[in-house]
Amino acid sequence: MATTDRTFADKPTLTGTLVTLRPVEPDDVPVLGRILTDPELRRLTASAHSTAEAESGEEDLTRLQAWYSTRNAQTDRLDLMVVDNASGEVVGEVVLNEWDEASRTCNYRVLIGPAGRDRGLGTEATRLLIDHAFTHLPLHRIDLEVYAFNPRAQRTYEKAGFVVEGRRREALQFDGERVDAVIMGLLRQEWEEARS
Ligand SMILES: CC(C)(COP(=O)(O)OP(=O)(O)OC[C@H]1O[C@@H](n2cnc3c(N)ncnc32)[C@H](O)[C@@H]1OP(=O)(O)O)[C@@H](O)C(=O)NCCC(=O)NCCS
């Protein structure tokens, strides 16, 4: 049976075979700035609504500095860097946010930059964080959304146990085309059953 011996204020380092998840460090900001300008990532995370916008994105390092320098002080969310164990470089981030204490639910999101993709890192990072979440935090359920034009992300979430629950039809517009948002969820009981 899982314990709930930590809170969202705790910022652990979680070590896997391919990746290590760790709290934000000051030197991460320029690396994240480069990752967040990747056009494919900007399209798949709906940070842009057209190819032109995705390709012209520039990140404001001052704004990113302000954001990332305050992540470790947050008590209602968990933001961890994804480090590629092969290179020692930060390649992305994983986040548990939108913590609802009354319902014991939160949201999950992940992003991996071009240097880290398609080598199993996103899958392991997701599993590490979800295992931490249900082992140590008082969560009943984790939510997420993934756009229908992102089957790689949907597959990654399904491998971690998330189940498709529905769709927000035509929720996004990209290059003038309408795209559904797929709603996925993972319950504590399902996570426990998958481990037993
Ligand atoms: C989505 C993301 C986290 C996945 O991480 P990753 O390290 O690239 O992916 P992995 O190598 O761990 O696994 C990808 C899985 O999807 C599968 N896959 C890849 N492309 C696919 C496609 N077009 N259709 C279906 N499955 C696909 C792979 O085969 C693999 O599954 P398998 O292990 O069963 O073979 C990462 O690619 C990413 O951050 N992309 C950009 C931003 C993004 O999409 N974020 C998520 C927003 S919801």
pLDDT by residue (tens digit) across 92-151?
999 999 999 999 999 999 999 999 999 999 999 999 999 999 999 999 999 999 999 999
pLDDT by residue (tens digit) across 14-23?
999 999 999 9
Report DSSP state, residue 72: G
- Encode 112-178 in three state secondary structure: ECHHHCCCCHHHHHHHHHHHHHHHHCCCCEEEEEEECCCHHHHHHHHHCCCEEEEEEEEEEEECCEE
Establish whether residue 121 lines the binding site of ligand 1, counting it when its CB lies within 6 angstroms of any ligand atom: yes
pLDDT band of residue 2 (cuts 50, 70, 90) is: low
Distance between CA atoms of residues 41 and 175, nearest Å: 15
Domain limits for position 158: 14-195
Specify the pLDDT at position 178: 98
Identify whether 88 is part of a domain.
yes
Residue 1 has pLDDT above 60, yes or no: no
Identify whether 178 is part of a domain.
yes
Decide: pTM greater than 0.75: yes
Residue 21 region by backbone torsions, left for phi larger than 0, else alpha for psi between -120 and 50, else beta: beta
Residue 4 has pLDDT above 90, yes or no: no
Identify whether 5 is part of a domain.
no
Q: How remote is the CA of residue 194 from the centroid of ligand 1, in Å?
A: 21
Identify whether 7 is part of a domain.
no
Identify whether 6 is part of a domain.
no
Distance between CA atoms of residues 177 and 81, nearest Å: 32
Q: Which of 152, 172, 182 to mutate to test the pocket of ligand 1 (most atoms within 8 A of CB)?
A: 152
The residue among 38, 56, 41, 55 whose CA lies nearest residue 147 is: 41
Residue 82 has pLDDT above 60, yes or no: yes
Q: Which of 81, 155, 167 to mutate to test the pocket of ligand 1 (most atoms within 8 A of CB)?
A: 155
Which atom of ligand 1 sits closest to the CA of residue 118? Answer: 11
Q: How remote is the CA of residue 161 from the centroid of ligand 1, in Å?
A: 14
Greatest Cα pair distance in the chain: 50
CATH number of the domain enclosing 64: 3.40.630.30
Q: What tokens does 156 get?
A: 């990654």
Identify whether 3 is part of a domain.
no
How many domains is the chain partitioned into structurally? Answer: 1
The residue among 188, 194, 9 whose CA lies nearest residue 96 is: 9
Q: How remote is the CA of residue 122 from the centroid of ligand 1, in Å?
A: 7
pLDDT by residue (tens digit) across 154-190?
999 999 999 999 999 999 999 999 999 999 999 999 9
